[in-house]
Structure 1
Amino acid sequence: MLYFDGILIDIPTVKTMASCCDGNCAAEALREKQRGTLIKVLVINALMFVVIVIAAWYGKSTALLSDSLDNLGDAITYGLSLFAVSRSSGTKARVALFKGGLILAASLAVVAQIVHRLMVPVLPSYEIMSIFSMAGLAANGLCLYLLWRHRDEDINMSSVFECSRNDIASNLSVVIAAAGVWLFDNLWPDIIVASLLALLLLISSVRVIRGALIELRQP
């Protein structure tokens, strides 16, 4: 303790308060960085959804449609993650659980489209598939780069990173499907790739849901 101008000052207490302030400041700085990154990837994915869903409809590609649904799911996911940034770990886990449900819903939507395409077969446009899957690959590559540093920070950001990594696989798969349609002049490469993407989304949803449930069980 120290007397200064008639006031008793507890030096250890002052140091502890300063330390707490530093900790809070560091946590807030981290949250601000997360918010900034999430806003950027949210805008990118929302724009890419609009562009690719129009291209999928015009090009009659099921694989490209699944790619666009992935972008829509990600845009919603990033919005939810933005909401959860400054919330408790329990809230983040519940948001991650909801994200897992969205990914599962996207996989089921792709399966429904596959069934429809099998019943009403149409040859997709490999040119449109190639152009817009490459555009999506560039956009999602940028998102993955922005999210890379946040991938292990908490359940909220790790689930976001999981979604972005799925997008890269999705884009590459559509490029392969476009090459298959061009080479064989057949819709089956599009159907096969769309089926694999639906499976990828299903596996990803299980992984995100499992991680969220584990987090929720922790005291």
Structure 2
Amino acid sequence: MAGCCEHDLCETKTLERQQRRMLWVVLALNAGMFFAEFITGWLADSTALMADSLDMFADAAVYGVSLYAIGRSLQLKAKAAVLNGSLQLVLGLLILAEVARRSVFGSTPEPIAMTVMGVLALLVNTVCFVLLSRFRGGDINLRATWICSRNDMLGNVSVLVAAGLVGWTGSPWPDRLVGLAMAVIILRSAIKILREALPLARGPRLTPPASAT
């Protein structure tokens, strides 16, 4: 029996090491892409790139929280997922504000810069998606990170579509509409994560003892 328990503990520790290694890799990739996309989006006046860069920043924060949650209790993992969902909620609202600002003050973005960064971000997020897919059936916190990665890939494809439409039409509105669509996708994912994680984070409700008769 003791040998069995030791074997199970060894497997758990090995899995946790693998999860930590994977999360450090995707965290570094997302942090690097945040800086690259944010600077490019600002210089190219692209709402879609700015939105995607903020998404990268939020994901890096999410992966950092996930690293902390590895090996913790189910309730603490659920609380980490709540934080993940809350970060995505704030991100979606920030993107909506950026779309509104660019609609008033922005100019037509540069489609070539959008295309180059969109392709690079898609490659990075594809790597992250593949790495995270192995653990998507695990605890709620890792499922939340996998959802983040999936949304990132959809956002990258949308940036590339927007770049093509901006170059074809000469209008900034495809860029802004993609930013708006990304905000909606992120907000919906945040709500889904929070709905699943909040009941677990609160823990089991204690039933008051029956009164003596």
- Normalised by the length of structure 2, the TM-score is 0.93
Indicate the structure (1 or 2) with the bigger Cα radius of gyration: 1
Shift of 1:217: 5.2
Matched, 1:178 2:163: yes
Alignment partners' CA distance in 2, 1:149 and 1:121: 41
Matched, 1:88 2:73: yes
Match of 1:30 in 2: 15
Q: Percent identity?
A: 37
The number of residues matched between the two structures is 204
Conserved in 1, the CA contact under 8 Å of 2:45 and 2:106?
A: no
Find runs of 4+ consecutive structure 1 residues off by over 3 angstroms. Answer: none
Matched, 1:142 2:123: no
Alignment partners' CA distance in 2, 1:192 and 1:163: 20
- Normalised by the length of structure 1, the TM-score is 0.91
Superposed CA deviations along residues 76-120 of structure 1, whole A, max 9, x for unmatched, are: 000110010111111110010011010011111111111111111
Matches of residues 102-121 of structure 1 in structure 2 within 5 Å? 102-121=87-106
Shift of 1:188: 0.6
Q: Give the aligned residue type for 1:52.
A: E
Of residues 90, 93, 101, the one that matches 2:86 is 101
Of residues 176, 181, 198, the one that matches 2:183 is 198
Match of 1:73 in 2: 58
Match of 1:128 in 2: 113
Q: CA RMSD in A?
A: 1.0
Matched, 1:43 2:28: yes
Matched, 1:152 2:140: no
Q: Which runs of 5+ in 2 are unaligned?
A: 205-213
Q: Which runs of 5+ in 1 are unaligned?
A: 1-15
SS in structure 1 at match of 2:137: coil
Q: Give the aligned residue type for 2:97.
A: A
